[in-house]
């Protein structure tokens, strides 16, 4: 009986710990600097004109097909969050960049390793209505296929 109670308590603690993790929201100031990251990941900046994100000495240039949304604040909204305080056995410290094009029913989501700015995952998240969304994992090399924009714009 004691073993069962101990196991239940252990699983409960593990579940609460997993549910307790929340990414930290990162702000972009008027100069494009990312505010809220620890010093070891600084300087950190978004250069919308160039279509780039930089962390320390590393830089990532957005692909041409996404740069139009990334570059213009009139065409899209950027949301950034990250985590550098979780257990690293499953996922390294990361930053998540979401590009939400205006008047579209989809968004792009880039998950980067904070240590070297390499891509961990790229998603296209479709929102067919106000109550649901679908996450589509995309290989980076396939991201700029011409039919993606047409497909996701007309997604039902």
End-to-end CA distance of the chain: 52
In whole angstroms, give the CA distance from residue 141 to residue 86.
Answer: 29
Cis, peptide link before residue 143, omega less than 30° from 0: no
Q: Quick check: pTM over 0.85?
A: no
**Per residue in 2-58, pLDDT tens?**
565 554 555 555 544 545 568 899 999 999 999 999 999 999 999 988 889 999 889
Q: What is the largest CA-CA distance in the chain?
A: 64
The pLDDT value recorded for residue 95 is: 93
Average pLDDT of the residues of the chain: 79
């Amino acid at each position: 009986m004691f073993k069962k109670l101990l196991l239940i308590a252990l699983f409960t603690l593990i579940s609460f710990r997993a549910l307790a993790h929340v990414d930290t929201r990162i702000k972009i100031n008027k100069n494009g600097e990312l505010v809220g990251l620890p010093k070891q990941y600084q300087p950190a900046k978004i250069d919308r004109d160039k279509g780039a994100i930089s962390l320390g000495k590393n830089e990532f240039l957005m692909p041409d097909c996404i740069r139009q949304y990334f570059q213009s604040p009139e065409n899209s909204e950027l949301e950034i969050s990250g985590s550098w305080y979780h257990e690293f056995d499953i996922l390294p410290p990361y930053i998540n960049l979401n590009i939400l094009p205006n008047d579209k029913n989809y968004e792009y989501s880039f998950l980067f390793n904070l240590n070297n700015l390499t891509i961990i995952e790229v998603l296209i998240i479709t929102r067919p209505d106000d109550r649901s969304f679908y996450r589509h994992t995309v290989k980076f090399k396939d991201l700029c296929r011409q039919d993606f924009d047409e497909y996701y714009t007309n997604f039902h």
